[in-house]
Amino acid sequence: MGLMLWCTAHFLHAGSIRVGPEQGITSISGATQKALCGDTIWIESGLYKEGNIVLDKSLTLMGMGNPVLDGEKKYEILTVGADDVSIVGLTFINSGYSAMNDFASIKIVGSRYFKIESCTIRNSYFGIHVSNCSYGKIWNCSVEGTPDQEQNTGNAIHFWKCDHMEVFNNLSSGHRDGIYLEFVTDSRIQKNTSTKNIRYGLHFMFSHQNSYQHNRFLKNGAGVAVMYSHQVDMIQNEFQDNWGPSSFGILLKDITDSRIIHNKFIRNSAGVFMEGSNRCVIDSNLFQENGWALRVQASCTDNQIAYNNFMGNTFDVACNGTLVLSKFNSNYWDRYKGYDLNKDQFGDIPYNPVSLYSVLVEQNSAFLILLRSALTVILDEVEKAIPVLTPIDLQDLSPVLTPYPL
């Protein structure tokens, strides 16, 4: 309590310290030891090799002319264990690697009201590692690595047991996951680009009441995985060119009460893969040129799929069972061949988007060798006339005849 009161009093008279080759203080560590709570440390351009710099008081580190902190591939570079810390305009390179410890270029532990802004991180194990923190902001940062084997690479931006995080306008690439959240609540992921990561562009585990909006997930091992979470909003994101035998735009595994609205799924192996997902809304999305637009497992219930455009996908919908407990309504399907006699812009007959060929592929992937053959067309036409294997209940009862302006 005495230290907190002393820091609060000093904030009213905060000063500044300058660090640089021609200054009285030439090391960042020396400046942090001399500084008082609330001070700003101005760091001039140059190369700083100081091992692990530990920040245990409320300070602002402000870069001038792109100063570079080098971990020499041996050390964690900056460890923060205080509240009200700001890190702005610094470059971090060559953090250490450890199979036992999560070495990071920037590690934040047990902090409230921290900010990391306009920083560049290169060649790190973990880029930014945040644990047991509240009310943090990571803005306008670039975290880029060189993709290696998954077990030898950490995450670009990693959160564990945090709340009220704001991740805005960052680039994350070349890591295991671009952005990772585990036991994270009430947080916002907005306007980030996550690309060329080994596993996922964004990964949720046991993380509730979060949202991610206006992000781009391009050419990752897979786009986004939302697992064991509820009340997650996924709005106006772009999922593109996430290709691979087990890849997808979004994986939804054991999630509930979430929304997927106004997203674009373009050229992914699967746009959305759903397993054990309940009471989710998939509304007003574009599914275009994917291998599978939607793969809905029989373990999914009470999901509402409406007002989406399905255009140019190899398979619009696939499922692994005949019992379907999710509802499709008022979607646009470019394969729909129905008619509209009353001119209300809705088809007069329902549309079943699951083809017999897609059912066979779900049961045995070797059937993909027949893709685009005449035999698959014959099978599908026969199944339409005498449905046997496709789920009869999986129908869009009122398909629209023209695509929505999404």
Indicate whether 3 pLDDT > 50.
no
pLDDT of residue 388: 47
pLDDT of residue 2: 47
Classify 73 in phi/psi space as left (phi over 0), alpha (psi -120 to 50) or beta.
left
Residue whose structure tokens are 């036992």:
100
Using only C-alpha atoms, the chain has a radius of gyration, in whole angstroms, of: 25
Indicate whether 357 pLDDT > 70.
no
List, in sequence order, the alpha helices (H) in 210-289: none
Each residue's pLDDT tens digit, 267-321: 999 999 999 999 999 999 999 999 999 999 888 999 999 999 999 998 899 887 6
The mean pLDDT value for 164-180 works out to 97
**d(Cα 197, Cα 221) in Å, to the nearest integer?**
6
Each residue's pLDDT tens digit, 76-99: 999 999 999 999 999 999 999 877
* Residue scoring higher pLDDT (247 or 377): 247
Helix or strand (DSSP H, E) at 28: helix 28-34
pLDDT of residue 99: 72
Strand boundaries in 38-93, DSSP class E:
40-43, 47-48, 53-55, 60-63, 68-70, 78-80, 86-88, 91-93
The mean pLDDT value for 99-114 works out to 93
The SS3 assignment for 9 reads: helix
Indicate whether 20 pLDDT > 80.
yes
The mean pLDDT value for 206-231 works out to 96
Average pLDDT across the chain, whole number: 88
**d(Cα 108, Cα 114) in Å, to the nearest integer?**
8
The SS3 assignment for 367 reads: helix
pLDDT of residue 380: 54
Could you give phi then psi for residue 396, rounded to 5 degrees?
A: -95, 110
pLDDT of residue 361: 58
**d(Cα 372, Cα 352) in Å, to the nearest integer?**
19
Helix or strand (DSSP H, E) at 181: strand 177-185
Could you give phi then psi for residue 25, rounded to 5 degrees?
A: -110, 125
Each residue's pLDDT tens digit, 116-148: 999 999 999 999 999 999 999 999 999 999 877
The mean pLDDT value for 369-394 works out to 56
DSSP string, 119-149: -EEES-SEEEEEES-EEEEEES-EEE-----
pLDDT of residue 54: 96
Indicate whether 334 pLDDT > 80.
yes
pLDDT of residue 298: 82
- When mean pLDDT is compared across 29-43, 238-252, 352-366, 376-390, the lowest value belongs to 376-390
Indicate whether 325 pLDDT > 90.
no
The SS3 assignment for 257 reads: coil
Cβ–Cβ under 8 Å, residues 373 and 400: no
CA dihedral 379, 384, 389, 391 (to 10 degrees): 140
pLDDT of residue 324: 74
